[in-house]
Structure 1
Amino acid sequence: MTQPLDLQAMAAAAIARLTGPGGQFEMVVEEVLGAPIPVMKHRGRSLADVLEASIALGDRDYLITEDRRMSYTEHADAVGALARALRDRYGVGKGDRIGILAANTVEWVVAFWAAQCLGAIAVGYNAWWVPREIAYGLDHTRPSVLIVDAKRAAQVVELDIQLPVLTMEHDLPALIAEFDDGELPRTPVAEDDPAVILYTSGTSGRPKGAVHTQRNLLAVIEYHRFNDALAAAFQGRTDDGSPKGRRFLLTSPLFHIASLHNLVIPRMVTGDTTVIHQGSFDPDRVLRLVERERITNWGAMPTMASRMLDTDLSDYDLSSLMSFSLNSAPSSAALQQRLRDQLPVAKTALVTSYGLTECSTAATLAAPAELAAFPDTVGRPVIGVSIEIRDAQGNAVAEGIEGEICVRSPYVMLGYWEDEAATAAAITPDRWLRTGDIGVLEHGRLRLSGRRSDLILRGGENVYPTEIEQCLEEHPAVRECAVIGVPDADLGQQVAALVVVDEDTATNENELLEFTKQRLAYFKVPARWRITTTALPRNATGKVVRAGLEI
């Protein structure tokens, strides 16, 4: 048990050298939105600067799919052309929203960076939403233009929307060709100006738009650069920031922070390559991609990792992998050990983390040795993050005491788009984020002991029962209902619904299934049902008592 402690001491010494006075990543405390926040002294100030600097990376591959390759130069050219088109033809300017509704594509990334050139706000809508949910998102953030792929274009046709809709397959290539000549647009921005909105499932029944600023995303970039420097320090080297030839596999949606904030955006500075998997997760296709593109780094959801381990890994050449992480959902000790037993890179390089959309990136990270010694940990706070465990009254508790996890850092979102009440409930006046998750700190390590109230984690996707319950209650036969998560070996949890009706013949499972399929993204549709005429149990205040519900 001494090895993790020795490594921790080494890490502490290296961090002190890197972040102390005169260090490459010197940390200082500055006032950010009225609160004292630790920030890096020598930091970038705008994402447009990051894009412009990337041109120097020239012909290095930035983005790769199964059938396309885009260099840094080609990417910057496409971004500049699209930004000029959006500005000159559609009048998009600073603070306007550019909606992006699509599966993982090169154009998704180009559209994001085009927004940054204009000081506009990229809005990443959930590509799995059905038309009703899409309509809500468009009404909520009111984009000036909406950029879609062909599949979502067909869904948008069903809606009565009055804004330009640009397809990735036809409109964007035509605009990029038409506006291919000119300078890269630049619009002055402040550090705390919004850069992107990503939607997170809402406890009140509607998705909320988490607003991430220029500061947030630039801090995420520096966090990744710092990790590179720390890794080099462990090897007795100094990291000069030059490209290392790494190839990162992207398997999560671009409308998630795991892919956009923590993969696509930082690579713009580290000069590495992002290889984008497209389509549903298929272990054989993904492993062939790892083999063909010589992937070095992969962050996977636990569900993906579990499905991968059900295949014979000896059929693939995975020798290029240098790093493997479990992201987006808790992972069991059993899964971690299976990975170490079957995936060579996991024996020495398996990590996990804890974070949420509102944090922009990981709040904690568990290094390989510490995760092996303490498989239930999600690690220690990352650079710039402060964590407190607080009681129901908002008071910090001592180590070893369970309570709500609260986070403060330069990564914490600005707030929820046009929702002052939700923002005030989530972020204190001194910029502490109330995560709603329950955990405990033990010797500096965070351990999760509960999830946000009633949250269902299905295959890495957050599902809140309230939204599904409100949908079901629109059905004329449903008197009341309760939605809970039930264990599932593959997905972690499945969605289950207990529906109360007046008469046994009022409706049936198939009818309710079709009803929800038409109104909710597929991952929110209950997989298990129980229809009853017995009223739901409630407490003294009238709230449904979910504990003990059987479905």
Structure 2
Amino acid sequence: MTNAVDLQALAAKVAAGLTGPGGPFELTVEQVLGAPIPVFRNRARSLLELLEGSRELGDRDYLVAAGRRLTFAEHYAAAGALAAALRERYGLGKGDRVGILAANAPEWVLTFWAAQRLGAIPVGYNAWWAPREIAYGLEHTAPKVVIADAKRAALLAETGTDIPVLTMDGDLPALLTEFAGGNPEATVGEDDPAIILYTSGTTGRPKGVVHTQRNMVAVSDYHRFNDAMAAGFRGLAWDGSPAGRRFLATMPLFHIASLHNLAVPRIATGDAVVFPSGSYDADSVLRLVETERVTNWAAVPTLANRLLSLDISQYDLSSLTAFSLNSAPSSPALLQRLREHFPVALQGLTTSYGCTESGTAATVATPPELAADAETVGRAVIGVSIEVRDPDGKPVLDGVEGEICVRSPYVMLGYWNDEGATAASIDADRWLRTGDFGVLRQGRLYISGRRSDLILRGGENVYPQEIENVLDEHPAVRESAVIGVAHEDLGQEVAAIVVVDAPDSLTEDELRDHVAKQLAYFKVPARWLITAEPLPRNATGKVLRRQLALGD
């Protein structure tokens, strides 16, 4: 019987053939922003090169949604038309920002690629933001135009912005017709910004993560490399031809999981992206897997957990060959339940570790590795170096806990307009300090703790200080602390301890409404403790979060 050691040896052999001299993914080391970084020698130098290559994919499906679909040829033409409209009607050019505020839709992806034709920088705003958060994002990245769905266009209006807002349902179809045949083209460098996505910051303000042309192309090549590895494992030759796969996008496009690692790479692999319509419902999504013959699905653990409430045997999931869990840690118990009730999990279940700043997964646990060791998040992926470091920044010994640091061609350029935060996160040698803690054992990574204050709610990062800042604005609140508490479905839910002079004078509903008016729904605390007792603090005045509890 083939054992784990044999599989590891086979993987090394296949990888060596692909990445060695003359291989399709030959690796070399180049100076990137002053640091030696492993890169693929035979690579595209911009996303625009990938878009141009997609013309050859013709009438294959690229973007599929309820009642409509765009082939690669149709998408190519539409991206050119939209780019022409943005340049000629709104004056967009290289380096200008194009805001995108919408739920998942083909127009989201189309806007991304149109911006690439201009050398402009798309900005993916969080579609769940409240007007206050939207206003911050607009001020921070100053887009020349924002493209939004109808629901978010109404929220944009509440901010009072004078930035032009184009609606996906109304304005875009008219512009695509008017500027049909347009196809502008810009010249960009590999380390020019290609996208800005927001991630929460420990200071309570979202930070704009900047990924470059190099980052995005490298992520796409990483996915192509994985395809070549899979072929090699089966003893097959790989030539990059489309395999006819269909990827289900249940995570938002303003996350790297759906944009960088699903929608963008498909332009290079020739596969389709399938978008569910409306809010997530396990039954409707599984019906979509049936009707669209979905082959690949990456989900957050919360969504996967909801599948287990259904009788999965009632659905035809025979097309599904790969299923992965991303964006939040997966408990061994969840992995086991999935194997027991979700057929594809028996052979296709993987998990990974990464963050917005890392661009893609830093590590991946393959199905055999995960079956043998449910605690690990796997080994470093191609091109990634991982070190676990002590508080002084020195690598620790195998098996010793420390901060996880990552270096690769996928790691972000930095934070938009925030040199201080960038310097704190990326050192002179381009090592990313993730702020997460873990252990390396014989090449496998184990996560021992996320950022000390971070709450992981259903795949969304929630930082307490942002919520505390809003709570503390309430006139009756003297101080507050927000913590994460265990939740069977979401992983964690948000809880708040609020200190007031007269606890009986303030209700949970009043506080909940106060927060909901200013922050996205997933940041609104679900559990509350209103008390007159002051928060526990150390000698320097910092709240001792580990001593906080809601009580019974």
Displacement of 1:2 after TM fit? Answer: 7.5
Question: 1:144-183, CA deviations, whole angstroms, 9 ceiling, x for partnerless residues?
Answer: 001110001111111221221101010011000000023x
In structure 2, the partner of 1:116 is 116
Moved over 6 A (4+): none
In structure 1, the partner of 2:37 is 37
In structure 1, the partner of 2:347 is 348
Q: How does 1:132-171 map to 2 (within 5 A)?
A: 132-171=132-171
In structure 2, the partner of 1:214 is 213
The AA in structure 2 aligned to 1:368 is: P
Q: Once structures 1 and 2 are overlaid, which stretch shifts more, 338-347 or 371-380?
A: 338-347
TM-score by length of 2: 0.99
| CA distance in structure 2 between the partners assigned to 1:4 and 1:495 by the alignment | 40
Unaligned ranges ≥5, structure 1: none
What SS does the corresponding residue of 1:113 show, helix, strand or coil?
Answer: helix
The AA in structure 1 aligned to 2:227 is: D
The AA in structure 1 aligned to 2:358 is: C
In structure 1, the partner of 2:21 is 21
What SS does the corresponding residue of 1:393 show, helix, strand or coil?
Answer: coil
CA RMSD across the alignment: 0.9
What SS does the corresponding residue of 2:347 show, helix, strand or coil?
Answer: helix
In structure 1, the partner of 2:180 is 180
The AA in structure 1 aligned to 2:206 is: P
In structure 2, the partner of 1:283 is 282
- C-alpha contact (below 8 Å) 1:298/1:324 kept by paired residues: yes
- C-alpha contact (below 8 Å) 2:97/2:121 kept by paired residues: yes
In structure 1, the partner of 2:61 is 61
- C-alpha contact (below 8 Å) 1:455/1:462 kept by paired residues: yes
| CA distance in structure 1 between the partners assigned to 2:359 and 2:311 by the alignment | 35
The AA in structure 2 aligned to 1:534 is: E
Say if 2:353 is the partner of 1:315: no
| CA distance in structure 2 between the partners assigned to 1:69 and 1:193 by the alignment | 31
Displacement of 1:275 after TM fit? Answer: 0.4
The AA in structure 2 aligned to 1:548 is: Q
Say if 2:373 is the partner of 1:386: no
In structure 1, the partner of 2:252 is 253
- C-alpha contact (below 8 Å) 1:3/1:369 kept by paired residues: no
What SS does the corresponding residue of 1:441 show, helix, strand or coil?
Answer: strand
| CA distance in structure 2 between the partners assigned to 1:50 and 1:155 by the alignment | 34
What SS does the corresponding residue of 1:84 show, helix, strand or coil?
Answer: helix
| CA distance in structure 2 between the partners assigned to 1:4 and 1:130 by the alignment | 48
Say if 2:536 is the partner of 1:537: yes
| CA distance in structure 2 between the partners assigned to 1:153 and 1:471 by the alignment | 24
- C-alpha contact (below 8 Å) 2:79/2:114 kept by paired residues: yes
Displacement of 1:12 after TM fit? Answer: 1.1
- C-alpha contact (below 8 Å) 1:83/1:185 kept by paired residues: yes
What SS does the corresponding residue of 2:382 show, helix, strand or coil?
Answer: coil
What SS does the corresponding residue of 1:406 show, helix, strand or coil?
Answer: strand
The AA in structure 1 aligned to 2:544 is: V
Question: 1:441-482, CA deviations, whole angstroms, 9 ceiling, x for partnerless residues?
Answer: 011100000001210000000000010001111111110010
**Taking structure 1 as reference, are residues 339 and 133 closer, same or farther at Cα in structure 2, changes over 3 Å only?**
same
| CA distance in structure 2 between the partners assigned to 1:80 and 1:17 by the alignment | 38
| CA distance in structure 1 between the partners assigned to 2:443 and 2:8 by the alignment | 11
In structure 1, the partner of 2:360 is 361
| CA distance in structure 2 between the partners assigned to 1:350 and 1:397 by the alignment | 31
The AA in structure 2 aligned to 1:355 is: G
In structure 1, the partner of 2:129 is 129
Q: How does 1:217-256 map to 2 (within 5 A)?
A: 217-256=216-255
The AA in structure 1 aligned to 2:520 is: A
Question: 1:343-388, CA deviations, whole angstroms, 9 ceiling, x for partnerless residues?
Answer: 1111111100001000110000000000011100000000000000
In structure 2, the partner of 1:414 is 413
What SS does the corresponding residue of 1:377 show, helix, strand or coil?
Answer: coil
The AA in structure 2 aligned to 1:265 is: V
Q: How does 1:426-437 map to 2 (within 5 A)?
A: 426-437=425-436
Displacement of 1:324 after TM fit? Answer: 0.5
In structure 2, the partner of 1:442 is 441
| CA distance in structure 1 between the partners assigned to 2:519 and 2:88 by the alignment | 37
- C-alpha contact (below 8 Å) 1:103/1:278 kept by paired residues: no
In structure 1, the partner of 2:503 is 504
Unaligned ranges ≥5, structure 2: none
What SS does the corresponding residue of 2:191 show, helix, strand or coil?
Answer: coil
| CA distance in structure 1 between the partners assigned to 2:245 and 2:504 by the alignment | 60
| CA distance in structure 1 between the partners assigned to 2:87 and 2:221 by the alignment | 30
The AA in structure 2 aligned to 1:370 is: E
- C-alpha contact (below 8 Å) 2:536/2:547 kept by paired residues: no
In structure 1, the partner of 2:5 is 5
- C-alpha contact (below 8 Å) 1:191/1:215 kept by paired residues: yes
What SS does the corresponding residue of 1:547 show, helix, strand or coil?
Answer: helix
Question: 1:81-126, CA deviations, whole angstroms, 9 ceiling, x for partnerless residues?
Answer: 0000000110000000000000011111110000000000000000
- C-alpha contact (below 8 Å) 1:457/1:492 kept by paired residues: yes
- C-alpha contact (below 8 Å) 2:100/2:108 kept by paired residues: yes
What SS does the corresponding residue of 1:70 show, helix, strand or coil?
Answer: strand
| CA distance in structure 2 between the partners assigned to 1:314 and 1:234 by the alignment | 30
What SS does the corresponding residue of 2:448 show, helix, strand or coil?
Answer: strand
The AA in structure 2 aligned to 1:76 is: Y
- C-alpha contact (below 8 Å) 1:404/1:438 kept by paired residues: yes
Displacement of 1:279 after TM fit? Answer: 2.1
The AA in structure 2 aligned to 1:354 is: Y
What SS does the corresponding residue of 2:23 show, helix, strand or coil?
Answer: coil
Say if 2:114 is the partner of 1:81: no
| CA distance in structure 1 between the partners assigned to 2:69 and 2:52 by the alignment | 20
| CA distance in structure 2 between the partners assigned to 1:540 and 1:7 by the alignment | 53
Q: Once structures 1 and 2 are overlaid, which stretch shifts more, 12-21 or 386-395?
A: 12-21
Question: 1:23-69, CA deviations, whole angstroms, 9 ceiling, x for partnerless residues?
Answer: 11011110000111010101110111111110110000001012111
In structure 2, the partner of 1:304 is 303
- C-alpha contact (below 8 Å) 2:411/2:432 kept by paired residues: yes
What SS does the corresponding residue of 2:114 show, helix, strand or coil?
Answer: helix
| CA distance in structure 1 between the partners assigned to 2:163 and 2:71 by the alignment | 32
What SS does the corresponding residue of 1:362 show, helix, strand or coil?
Answer: coil
